[in-house]
Structure 1
Amino acid sequence: MVNTTIKTTKSQEIFAAAQNLMPGGVNSPVRAFKSVGGQPIVFDHVKGAYIWDVDGNQYIDYVGTWGPAICGHAHPEVIAALHEALEKGTSFGAPCVLENVLAEMVIDAVPSIEMVRFVNSGTEACMAVLRLMRAFTGREKVIKFEGCYHGHADMFLVKAGSGVATLGLPDSPGVPKSVTSNTLTAPFNDLEAVKALFEENRDQIAGIILEPVVGNAGFIPPDAGFLEGLRELTHEHGALLVFDEVMTGFRIAYGGAQEKFGITPDLTTLGKVIGGGLPVGAYGGRRDIMSMVAPAGPMYQAGTLSGNPLAMTAGIKTLELLQKSGTYEYLDKITKKLANGLLQIAQETGHPACGGSISAMFGLFFTAGPVHNYEDAKKSDLAKFARFHRGMLEHGIYLAPSQFEAGFTSFAHTEEDIDRTLEAARDVMSQL
């Protein structure tokens, strides 16, 4: 039996004060634990695969700051590089050689990227790539998939309606219908729905944007032939294919999902890992498309802190660490052990569940499944997940506080960490 006693008095006090200072007490909604109930944990410091709260409790971390911490938290080589960079200043607002270095590394790694533009977040990257898709094609409509998240820009905050060709409806107050009317939605892994959208909107669709592996509706991989089918459809209809690899880039393979699955999109968005834990984003792709971006071309996009030396430094060092031999083999090994172990324990303790992993990304749904899209994911037992999350937290395991978020490992996680996590999961599931 694993010790299940944790005290969170300071966390509760800090969060109570925060609610009078920030909307909901947080700066990103999922952090408020609304999906799982209870009080959110306020953290104090991180190191390797572990995270400590303000009450002194230690947790094995499978959130990894929502994906960037693939090397583990506060990796000594990243910290040392940042210390050196800090001596030169925090921001230049002008070109620096570090931008060249990271750009070359990204271009060398990601099959689709011939030119790249750095920004400050994944949301910003997706906003820019949307504008670029339209500028290059001269078309306004875009296809996205239900459950895929591309940041909080108006155009992407769309809830899919019933039927395969329903025009998007705003999924947040303050988003005009006129903005989302050009967003078409389809279920993930449904090629026929995408074909129908192209047929009904001939010569109007600028392109398709998707998470090649969904991580913001839980962990949902593409079915065999799905990505290939999208590539064929976009070629056929003169549209662009965009992979949002903010989450999968440099995580499920060094060259991202496009390397893993052998499908090259026209454009790619990146973030998370390429900043080594600092705010960053990027978009890139074919040279002829990227040449439209100002000042080389007419499509305007700019940013005060874009390409800042600290984010570039952390990104360079992180990618250098990922280039070491055996890194992705190790990540695949430990993550498979974790994901398969969770499924086995769920089966043995009588809980319908499904899930899986790809390299350093995994997921578990409390539904018999299989889960091919967001509608399938919504069949999960959310109350059971909430109890599971709370139980794991009390056992010193920090999972994403939502059934609809993927989990992440790092090469700082050890076999012993995985064993301890599975031991905790067995204890918790046996009491659900």
Structure 2
Amino acid sequence: MPLEVVGEIFKACLPADITKLDLTNATSLDTIGAPLILSALWANICLRLPPLDNNIQSPLLVLAKNWIERSQECPLSINLCLLNDSQNARELIKLINEYSSRWTYFKYTGDPKFFPHFISDTSNTSQLHTLSLSSPPMWSPTLMIFNDGSVPLRPKCLQLHTVRSLRMVNISWSGLTELRIYSDLPVAMCLEALRIAPNLIRCTLKARDTEGVVLDHFAMPASPLLHANVVELTLITNIYSDIFSHLICPAVEKLAIHTLYEHDIIPMDLLIGFIQRSQCSIFSLSLKGAMLTTAHIDMLINAMPMLCHLDMDLEPDFPTRHFFSLLKEGGSQPQYLSDLQLLTISLRDDRFDFNLLRLVLRDIQNNMSFFRTNLRTLKFVIDKNRMIHGDRNILRHLSSLAQEGMQLDVLDLQTTITMYFRVVILIFPIRPLA
């Protein structure tokens, strides 16, 4: 490790006023000065370094050039933030562009006027896997005309944050295999991204009927857009009808539909129509914000007979007994969820019948053939605050489950909303893997 780096670490461990420490008396030594006593090596390094309260100013351009030269032929991972327009900023971009054939990861945050200045070199080689572009809200986006003759970047994965137009990005769309849009773009613009990137395999789209700044407009396609290669599709939106009725994805195997706002509700009829029209074989489904009825459950299961992983919320009116009866008996069609291996349920209401859950799990424990499925794990995600401050019967149920040998794990999970909850996750192994 370079001495200057060690020195900075050492400096961070020092107290605000080192002159007040009695280094000969360990009992009176502030604990923050412990490195001085515990490590003679640290003390020797400190004595040999220049005074730590002196700052050495070095131009950014010089640092960047030295860093790139030291990297020799290694792939480059660059995280660049430019908050003002200056000659140094333009020279830095020019310097970095000279080594674009060695980029593997490039993230830029700042004024969108610089977007078109990031271009590939004239060689045909490219190692760029991920390109991430973000423009803070403080900047007023404008459309740019790319320089004639410029070579667009060729990333495999593109991430767009707060970008208001696809035309702000100078890339080769045909080479993309992964697209993540977190910019609240209109649905028509998201569909346009799918159209111009026909080789996508994984795609996340955050779309809404935006009232923000939209720089250009695309018309909705006259007929449904067919994308033949997307395998993993995540939609975060509040405009469901436009997406579900204008998109067909026959290759989708992993589908996630999440509401944009907490109180939105996914229209299940439209979602089921999208799945049936796509005629896709879905193995993994995640629904956040779906108001499921008994009929919806039956239709979903019919549309996805090969489902292996299911992740969903339990809303207040969720037909819990009907759902568990399908798991146990299969209803009128024994093939219902016969391939299901992992079931994750988020409990969002105090009225959930925990007594039913306890009885179901006890039957599982006593009878390994309780389910007709290949279910290996049941996972329940529960708001800890709701449990601790709610009905004491809930705690009794959980305690009895633990006494019966069930496994209880407490973890911290981040929700899809900009909030954090401490949750309890109960993981119940159903039967050992072969």
- Asked which structure has the greater CA Rg, the reply is 2
Greater share of residues in helix = 1
Normalising by structure 2, report the TM-score.
0.21
Higher-RCO chain (CA-CA 8 Å, sequence separation at least 6): 1
Greater share of residues in strand = 2
Normalising by structure 1, report the TM-score.
0.21
